[in-house]
Structure 1
Amino acid sequence: MSGVFSPTRAKIKERTLRTDKWWLQPLATFGVLMSFVVYATFRAFEGANYYKDHLISPFYSPCLSEACLPEATILGFTPVSAEIFNFALSPALIILIFPLGFRMTCYYYRKSYYRSFWMSPPACAVAEPHKKYTGETRFPLIIQNSHRYFFYAGLVLNVILTYDAVISFKNPEGEWGHMSVGSLVLLVSSTMLWLYSMSCHSCRHTIGGRLKNFSKHPVRYKLWSWVSVLNHSHQRFAWFSLAAVAFADIYVRQVATGAWTNFYFF
């Protein structure tokens, strides 16, 4: 036995002495993350209703498949065949691996789904049911070490999604300077993604890590200090960005199906 059940630890038969409802947080986390996974999977395979009047869903951007609507592409760039191995591939499946990999390997999300899905451990001062612990030293969890590379890919996607937010300030006729509800939705979504990325631990390490003397790198030190402030709210930005991206996709889908009207302010 290991952990709290190891021979050198006190013999307490109770799994925990906590009297509060400690299970509510992992249960809520499980419910929210599972709901997002189910919805994102449905949208990824739907392959439709992702573009309308210069609004493109963040789940489908950049649209790189030959199956993409011409208006949804960036300068008509579609390097991926519409079918791979005789299977019609949804455009979302081409790029979702990168934001998914970024969130799955995120330090905060690791803690969240380790507790809510694997109960490792389910909460502070609550014993985990596993008899053996190997950490992130074996497959598949050793893949978590690739987080910084997904972070870099995420930055590229953030730039593209920011471009999408800018393009959304066109009206259906393609004229600039027209703000709609959809413009604000995409703008909030891209902003939340930037805050989530900038508050990331990998971002903090990339900017200020491996420096032996901050005084010799004043610019990087200043940037590191700003990112460090954001890092305190990384958990908050993680949830806000997840909700913002999901709602942006829902909004675009509803507009594309005609269920909602994208009202313009001017």
Structure 2
Amino acid sequence: MATGTEPGARPRTRGVHAPSRAAIPQRHLRTDRWWLAPAATAAGLLLFVVYSTWRAFADADYYQAPYVSPFYSPCLAERCEPMRDGPNWEVVGGWWGLSPALLILILPLGFRLTCYYYRKAYYRGFWSSPPACAVPEPRGRYTGETRFPLIWQNGHRYFFYAAVLVAGVLTYDAVLTFRDASYGWGHMGLGTVVFTVNALLIWAYTLSCHSCRHIVGGRLRHFSRHPVRYRLWSWAGRLNGHHAKLAWASLVSVALADLYVYLLATGAFDDPRFF
């Protein structure tokens, strides 16, 4: 019986080179450019992380009436610019001098980090776990999400509840963009379109979440006895089929909404007004 120590014998290892697996010398048999997808994913997520980190620590240029950056909304610190000449926000405190965005972004960031699609995206893009279908990861042992720190992914459902509140706040912000301090309701600028589209995409991404689908229709034994929940479950299921696209679209839209406010606040251009 081979022990793995005989001359010429394959050393005992785990993963795809374990003794019970086929002895294929190649690491994988794919001949296409399988690395493009994880590389593009990593580049896209890294670009957003760099941009959002810069904006979160900037603590400036996040408000230009009637627009407030989604990274800073709801702005609760005493020094928030909307407190001075925009909508009335409730003051919670100075937050120890921290940028308000560092506290606000915790909730949507937690929701996206624990999202089923984003797990797949950054597991493949950054950790190569695995980098692509039929391409083994470079580790000999896989423990999944059963140990710290990845076990915290089980908190996704609770972040979903927080994400619903965030989507509600962004919807409120979008409604306020139809109001001008000088002319009242009836204002509509390019920023109004940007914020409205962003709110819609945020809602679509949030409601297409797997947790949402389970909450509205999970654990039901008889759909016929719960027609309303069945209808909601069906709608969530159709949205869920586009969850990956909505994840990227909402990620881009929230960054563009923040960038738009930044450009207005720094005087790069004036908000084009339709009426």
Q: Same fold (TM over 0.5)?
A: yes
By how many angstroms is 1:241 displaced? 0.3
Q: Does the alignment pair 1:235 with 2:244?
A: yes
Which residue of the partner structure matches residue 3 of structure 2?
Answer: none
Aligned to 1:217: 226
Query: Contact between 1:64 and 1:91, CA under 8 Å: does it hold in 2?
Result: yes
Q: Specify the code of the residue in structure 1 equivalent to 2:45.
A: L
Shift of 1:71: 4.8
Which of 66, 85, 93 is the matching residue for 1:80? Answer: 93
The reply to whether residue 204 of structure 1 matches residue 217 of structure 2 is no
State the TM-score, normalized to the length of structure 1.
0.95
Aligned counterpart in structure 2 of residue 3 of structure 1, from 6, 15, 21: 15
CA shift digits 1:44-65 (9 cap, x unpaired): 0000101101101110001011
* CA drift at 1:82: 4.0
Q: Name which of 103, 117, 126 aligns with 1:94.
A: 103
Match of 1:27 among 39, 59, 77: 39
CA contact (8 A) 1:101 1:150 kept: yes
Q: Alpha carbon RMSD of aligned pairs, Å?
A: 1.3
CA distance in 1, matches of 2:167, 2:183: 23
Kept in 1: contact 2:15–2:139 (CA 8 A): no
Task: Count residues in correspondence.
Answer: 262
CA gap 1:74/1:133 in 2 versus in 1, 3 angstroms: farther
Deviations 1:73-107 (CA, angstroms, capped at 9, x unpaired)? 86331213242xxxx20011111000000000000
Tell me the amino acid that sits aligned with residue 230 of structure 2. Y
What stretches of structure 2 of length at least 5 have no aligned partner? Answer: 1-12
Within 2, Cα distance between the matches of 1:210 and 1:260?
Answer: 52
Distance 1:71 1:214, change over 3 A: farther
What residue identity is the alignment partner of 1:80?
G
Taking the TM superposition and a 5 Å limit, the aligned residue runs for 1:54-203 are 54-69=66-81, 70-71=83-84, 75-83=88-96, 88-173=97-182, 175-203=184-212
Instruction: Tell whether 2:267 aligns with 1:255.
Output: no
**Could you tell me how far apart the structure 1 residues matched to 2:209 and 2:107 are?**
15
CA distance in 2, matches of 1:137, 1:241: 29
Task: Give the Cα separation in 2 of the matches to 1:65 and 1:108.
Answer: 33
Asked which structure has the greater CA Rg, the reply is 2
Counterparts in 2 of 1:71 and 1:241: CA distance versus 1, 3 Å: farther
The alpha-carbon deviation at position 188 of structure 1 amounts to 0.6
Task: Tell me how far apart the structure 2 counterparts of residues 74 and 141 of structure 1 sit (CA, whole Å).
Answer: 40
SS of aligned partner of 1:144: helix
Corresponding residue number in structure 1 for 2:30 = 18
Matched to 2:51, the amino acid is Y
Q: Deviations over 1:148-207 (max 9, x none)?
A: 111100000100100000001122425111110000000011100000011110000010
| Aligned residue number for residue 7 of structure 2 | none
- Give the Cα separation in 2 of the matches to 1:227 and 1:68: 36
In structure 1, list runs of 5 or more residues that go unmatched: none
**TM-score computed with the length of structure 2 as normaliser:** 0.92
Residues 73 and 111 of structure 1: CA distance in aligned 2, closer, same or farther (over 3 Å): farther
Q: What is the CA–CA distance in structure 1 between the aligned matches of 2:90 and 2:272, rounded to whole Å?
A: 30
Give runs of ≥4 in structure 1 deviating > 6 Å: none
Residue identity in the other structure for 1:75 = N
- C-alpha contact 2:114 2:153 (8 A) present in aligned 1: yes
Q: 1:10 to 1:72 in 2, by over 3 A?
A: farther
Counterpart CA distance in 2 for 1:109 and 1:71 is 38
